[in-house]
Structures are given as C-alpha cells and as structure tokens.
Amino acid sequence: MSSLWHETAALPSFPTLHENIKADILIIGGGLAGLLTAYLLKEKGLSPVILESGKICGGTTGNTTAKITFQHGLIYSDLIKKGAETAKAYYEANRQALEKYRELSKNIKCDFETKDNYIYSTDSRQKIEAELNALRIIGAKGTFAENLSLPFDTVGAVKTESQAQFHPLLFASHIAKALRIYENSRVIEMKGNTAVTETGSVKAENVIVTTHFPFINKHGLYSLKLYQHRSYVIALENGAELDGMYLDEKENGLSFRNYRNLLLLGGGDHRTGKKGGNYTELRQKAKDFYPKAQEKFHWAAQDCMSLDSMPYIGSYSKSTHNLYTLTGFNKWGMTGAMSGALILSDLLLGKTNPYAEFFSPSRSMLTGQIFLNGAESLLGYLYPTVKRCPHLGCALRYNKAEHSWDCPCHGSRFTKSGRVINGPANGNLK
C-alpha cells in the first residue's frame, strides 16, 4: 500500500535523460530537498537541472507525516549545551523555513493549516521545563501545556503556537511543474563534475547531492556520519480530532496529527535493519486508544540521522569544490529541506548566510554516535552471510514486517528479488 499522500495527489511526470547536456547547476535527487533547492535557485534566476532515479518524491518525502515546525522534539535543551549561539542558529534557520512555507503556500493548494505543536512527556516534567528554559534563553516562544487532548496521561508538554501541517505532495507537485527534471535517470557515477546515467550525462559547474543518503563514498565520510532510522504511520478513520500536532519527547514514542477526517498515528521506530515495534506496535496502540477506529492507509519510511542532531548543509567535504549536499534531517526534513535550500541558494549565489557555518558538513562533531556507527559497520562486515550490501559490504537482514532485505550499517534496502529501494546503495543486489 502506498502512503495517504501518494494516494491523494497526482504528481507530474518528466522524461528520462537521453542525451549529454550541460547545466550551471545539477541537483541529484528529486525529493523535497532537491525540489526546494532547485525552486529557490530558479526564483533567483538560475537554471538548475534535476536528475531523479525513479519518480520525484518516491523516497522519504512521499512517506512523511509533514508537520512543519521549528520544534523538533526537545532539541533546544540539547543544542544549548554546545552554546546558545548554535541553538539560536538552529531555531532561526527553521523558523525562517516555516515562514517561507507560509508565504509560498498562500499561492499553492496544499492543505496548509496553521496548528499549535506539542512535545509531550509521559514521565519527566523536568525535561519539559529544561526545554522551556532553553527556548527562553534563545528568545523563542514556548509555553507549558497540560490536560492535552491525548488518550493517555502525560506530565505536560512544551507548546509552540502557529506551526503548520500540509499535504507534502500537493506542495511538491506544484513546485516541480516549474522545474527542469529528468525522471528514471539514476546517476550511477560521477566523472569529475559530470554525472553519468545509463542513458546520458550532465556536465555541471556546481553539483548538489540531495539523494537522501549521499551516494558518493569517496568524500565526506558520510558512512560514519549518518545512519538511518525507520518509522511507521497508520491513518485512522474514526480516530480523534486533535487540537494540534503532538509528539512524544522519547525517540521511540508516538506522533499524532490529523489530515482531513483521518488521524495519523506514527511510531514503531527502530534503526533500519534492526528489530522494532513497527506496524504491530502501532496497531496495538490504535486498538487500545481508539477501539472504534478503522485503518485506511499505512506506510513506512526512514530518515538519515546525523551525529549531533543537526543536518549537514553545504560543501560535500573540505576537499571538494563545487560539490554540495543537503542531508541528515533527523526526521525533520520539512523545515530542514527548506532551511537547507535557503542556505545553499545563498552559497551558490556567493552570498553570506548567517547559519551556514553551523550546518557545515565539515563542522567538528566528535560524539559517541560516530563510534556506534563505526562498530555497527564492523559487525556488519564480520557477520557471516551471503547477502551483502553493494554499498560497503555489510550483512543484510531480512525485514519480516516489510519483506525486504535491510542493511543495519547505513540503511540501504532491497526487495526480495534484490531491487534497490533505498540508498546509499546505488544499484541492485547481484
């Protein structure tokens, strides 16, 4: 079954690349990050070309929950440990992204709705208070909320007003129509600044990699700097009409939002390739909380998790020139993609962007997660099996909930017959 978004929006189609062309800017990957970057660059008078391996928004963007908010869990009490400047830059970049959506959505029919957002806790009022304190320090507005419209007890929530939710594919469909896109045109190799597909090539002055997990392994150490985390969503009829968008502060907690008459319940998360709650956990929660509800849609997807909870936006690596990326959204790629597109469009036009240095993929970030990612890869190489990921050779695990072969190291996924579903692997199983 495809997601609610795919079932209720018709995306435009684009041709396959069948020639060798030149472009001032090439964007590889037609999810929200690629589309928004191209759209903003076009707004500023440039002529970007997008190469997409399948259909646009066929990856995580088509399988999201599409809350647009600068409130990403309890992130500010975490970021402020690095310094108020970092937390403030993150807040401002994401706040501006939210406002840019508000501005664009005035002219795009995408069911954009202003909503309050709540990050709740079931057991720690202290964490809620720490987040409110961090918001106060950086000059952001947040209030304590209790008696929430959720079907279980909480100790309270951080509430931020005037956030938003939308239909991501109605939005993407509109902006894509203005762009020069080639679909079914997977980039299989980079030869200098020329991207090669099976049927053509694009030679570009600047290349931006928005393939979700960057697929060029030679530079940037993304196999150590990223891993992928999977989440599940079910859409319920006769669930509940909530007064806002809700998310548990715990990594594996539940997410709630409405879309028209449906309640979208998200959760069941786990590192890709590992075991987790998946649909089983979500369906049990739905039965407990909304016994009269019926499931209308279900879908799952994964996102790239960075080392320090902030995306990687900017030059692909210290040693590369005219090669950029936009990734590591930590499940917040709606505002992440927009703030990334705003930063990159400034960088490509030679303008200074006040947030660029905070999001640079080459920033210093020695965290415990880098060792965990390294250890996971080592285990993957040593684990005895014949099914190995073509990306870097890790052992694949069978995912019974979705009948796929998944890589616990970097999150590539394959169908039973070996067709690649998610990168960084850039081709099928042999």
Q: How far apart are CA 288 and CA 386, in angstroms?
A: 41
Q: Which of 26, 31, 225, 273 binds ligand FAD (CB under 6 A)?
A: 31
Q: Which of 215, 279, 358, 405 binds ligand FAD (CB under 6 A)?
A: 215
List binders of ligand FAD among 73-112 (CB under 6 A): none
Are the beta carbons of 333 and 33 closer than 8 angstroms? yes
For ligand FAD, the closer of residues 213 and 405 by Cβ is 213
Are the beta carbons of 396 and 202 closer than 8 angstroms? no
303 touches ligand FAD (CB under 6 A): yes
For ligand FAD, the closer of residues 360 and 383 by Cβ is 360
Q: Which of 48, 59, 267, 361 binds ligand FAD (CB under 6 A)?
A: 59
List binders of ligand FAD among 224-263 (CB under 6 A): 231, 233
Pair of tokens at residue 418: 């070996």
Cis peptide bond upstream of 151, omega within 30? no
For ligand FAD, the closer of residues 29 and 244 by Cβ is 29
406 touches ligand FAD (CB under 6 A): no
Dihedral sign for Cα atoms in the order 405, 410, 412, 418: negative
List binders of ligand FAD among 322-351 (CB under 6 A): 329, 331-337
For ligand FAD, the closer of residues 58 and 380 by Cβ is 58
CA 274 to chain centre: 19
For ligand FAD, the closer of residues 132 and 164 by Cβ is 164
Long-range contacts formed by 365-373: CB under 8 A, 24+ apart:
365/225, 365/306, 365/307, 365/308, 367/307, 367/308, 369/227, 369/305, 369/307, 370/224, 370/225, 370/307, 373/223, 373/224, 373/225, 373/226, 373/227, 373/307, 373/409
53 touches ligand FAD (CB under 6 A): yes
- Residue that is written with structure tokens 């990306």 in the block: 391
Q: Considering only 121-129, 209-217, 235-243, 358-366, which stretch makes contact with ligand FAD by CB under 6 A?
A: 209-217
Residues that bind ligand FAD (CB under 6 A): 28-34, 51-54, 58-61, 63-67, 186-187, 210-212, 215, 231, 233, 266, 301-303, 329, 331-337, 423, 426
